[in-house]
Amino acid sequence: MDISYILNDLNDAQREAVTLDERHALILAGAGSGKTRVLVHRIAWLTEVLGQSAYNILAVTFTNKASNEMRGRIENLIGHKAQGLTMGTFHGIAYRLLRQHYQEAKLPQNFQILDADDQKRVLKRLLKSLELDENQWPVRQVQSFINSEKEEGRRPHHIDPGHNPFVIKMVQIYAAYEEQCQRSGLVDFAELLLRAHELWLKNPLVLAHYQARFRHILVDEFQDTNTLQYAWLRVLAGGSGKLFVVGDDDQSIYGWRGAKIENIRRFDEDFADVKLVRLEQNYRSTGTILKAANALIAHNAERMGKELWSAGEEGSPIKIYEAFNDLDEASYVCNQIEAWCEQGGARKEVAVLYRSNAQSRLMEQALLQAQIPYRVYGGLRFYDRAEIKDVLAYLRLLTNRDDDAAFERAFNHPPRGIGQKSADAIREVARDQQISMWAAARLLVEKGFSARAKTSVQGFLELIDELAQMREGRDLQDQVMQVIARSGLQAHFEKDRSEQGESRLENLDELINAVSQFKPKPQETVPGLDTEEQAEQQVFGLPEQTDLLGEFLAQAALEAGEQQADAWESCVQLMTLHAAKGLEFPLVFMVGVEEGLFPSQQAVDEGGRLEEERRLAYVGITRAEQQLIITYANRRRLHGNEFYPLPSRFIREIPAECVELVRMSGQVRPTSEAPVLNTSVQAALAAQRPADYQIGHRVRHEKFGEGIVLNMEGAGDHARVNVFFEQAGAKWLVMAYAKLERC
């Protein structure tokens, strides 16, 4: 039998994995090492050499895209022999299983799947029927609790709430939600897998059938499995099925989503006679990039061990740009993209990666100004995000009460007890009398609303009037901060403790940054006119009494109105580091690589989170094929205030010989001088505190008055002190310029 077509394109490690006998196998596949090829060729080996029918093979992926790609490659390799192969995502396979065995699963034949939005709507109605205040029990928080418990395989009766009132109430809501879904024949995404798992546990004959059928189970991205998915696989494999799992413990970055890195680490303990094969040859990145990635990830403990290498060229050093501030950082990235294109590169070959979604705003603004087409991969542009549009709706009402679109968005968000009947009444009066919704609401408050509806609507109208009056005498940043706080939006999003909730809060902070940095465009001059004529011609510039809020809203609308590049157009890709996993680009920027931002302060503070942040940095580095550029800023605006962050510890962990420092002028320091960068960064990260002050000392500042030292960080020119001033509040100050005096 000629099996050259299966083995010819494989390296030694890949060939070892593909040709294993029928046993459990863990394939530790490094970034860019060809894991999909191994899975495809393993299936070909099973069918062509080991004589297994495709009917007896199950292949599980995490995305439909990966599943479709793999199926296409298998069909190209073995043709019609791929017929009968079962392949899909965990949820897709569970859905097919429940459709086939709906009676045993105690489901109606026509059960319906709830997506995330549908689930929120069901929970919203349920909370209302239970007479629970959504402000106290936010829908997203309830949804997160229920889904997390299901992913751990727990029904309400499995949860021991102890004496915790919050958990007791959540369990009650979970139980009521289950009853409602069962009555209505509804199944959410988390329920699909839990119900499929229970189907096997409660129906031994059904389980025996599938255990006999699926003799070989192949799993992609095994490091991303959660508790329930792993339990599902273990039950299905039983005592006879053979698991062939492919994953990388160094790329486990979804712990916040429920993924358990422990699953890949304990695989050889839970299954007998496991063969471990490491795929370490990388086909994506240069030797320099791989050397940096290996050195970085080596700082994590309890790794399974793996060293990426490449047969290709060493490539260019990694550039590390020390920006003056975040604006300079964004400008530098744009300049480098333009230089890449001038040298023959394409915009579609460039990706800008950041830790937090909120960081996209400055990059979007800079790219728009530089007229560089871009797309936000897997997400919305900054001014298209729901929480930003929420705040802008309030701000628009302050400048124009007759803005119906803004009124519609703001009047009951966050929920303030204005029911659908009241909303419909406002719309009807506005339509019939040809007036704005604001005017209609005023009329109905005066006469027409019930006492309860009147109180809710009047409260909203008074809130807007108060916020409008509050504008006088306040700067633009303070106006926006007041709106975010007093509207209830800040508190509303703070109740959502999920990653999405944190992202929304970060975006609100970034909106404050945008406002604090906003400057109206200067008045343009008209060629050929003298100064007096210019003064008369006010048409090209701003009037003397400029409404800054109105100008900011206009700019936000213009930026939101700018079209993203079309799918077919060559454009720069902006994305979070999480979204970048599985992708690759010739030129990659990692921006904002600073302590407190990446790694995030939360990760530093919470035990166990720092290693996942480092794995995320490893993922970011290994997205680059030819050139990697890492940037950090000496000064960054966060939460509306100036901060002076330290460069990230992840920069320190890259070998000095792999990098070259780019100065603010754009001048590249020779590689031979690179150790100077590493030494200076190490010194900064050592956080040697200045000896002049100690935490708790009272100090005096010529502008802010007297205060108490709360914290001190850094060394040399980067040394800074955090002082709580009695009149001005907490301030971070650079020691070199603060001119503090001991009291």
Look at strands 641-643 and 585-590 and give their pairing: unpaired
Closest CA to 685 of 318, 299, 294, 251: 299
Length of the chain (residues): 743
Listed residue (475, 474, 481) closest to 511, CA to CA? 481
CA of 203: how far to CAs of 199, 206, 241, 362, in Å?
6, 5, 18, 56
SS3 state of residue 87: strand
Q: How many CA atoms lie within 13 A of 313 on its CB side?
A: 6
Active site residues: 35-36, 220-221, 251, 623
Dihedrals φ, ψ of 487, to 5°? -70, -20
Q: In what order do the strands lie in the sheet with 57-61?
A: 86-89, 57-61, 216-219, 242-247, 25-29, 275-279
Peptide bond preceding 599: is omega within 30 degrees of 0, i.e. cis? yes
Assess contact for 438 and 401: CB atoms under 8 A.
Answer: yes
Phi, psi dihedral angles at 626 (to 5 degrees)? -115, -45
Per-residue tokens: 222:
């095994």
Task: Assess contact for 705 and 725: CB atoms under 8 A.
Answer: yes
Which candidate, 178, 256, 191, places its Cα nearest to that of 170? 178
Distance set, CA 60 to CA 93, 219, 220, 245, 266 (Å): 8, 5, 6, 9, 19
Residues 6+ positions from 428 with CB-CB distance below 8 Å: none
CA 290 to CA 582: how far, in whole Å?
Answer: 16
Long-range contacts from 484-490, C-beta under 8 angstroms, 24+ separation: 484/391, 484/508, 484/511, 484/512, 487/391, 487/394, 487/410, 487/414, 487/463, 488/135, 488/414, 488/416, 489/387, 489/390, 489/391, 489/394, 489/413, 489/414
Side chain identity at residue 633, one-letter code: A
570, HSE (Cβ side, Cα atoms, 13 Å): 9
Give the separation between CA 540 and CA 590, rounded to whole angstroms.
Answer: 39
Structure tokens at 214: 């699926």
Return the SS3 of 274: coil
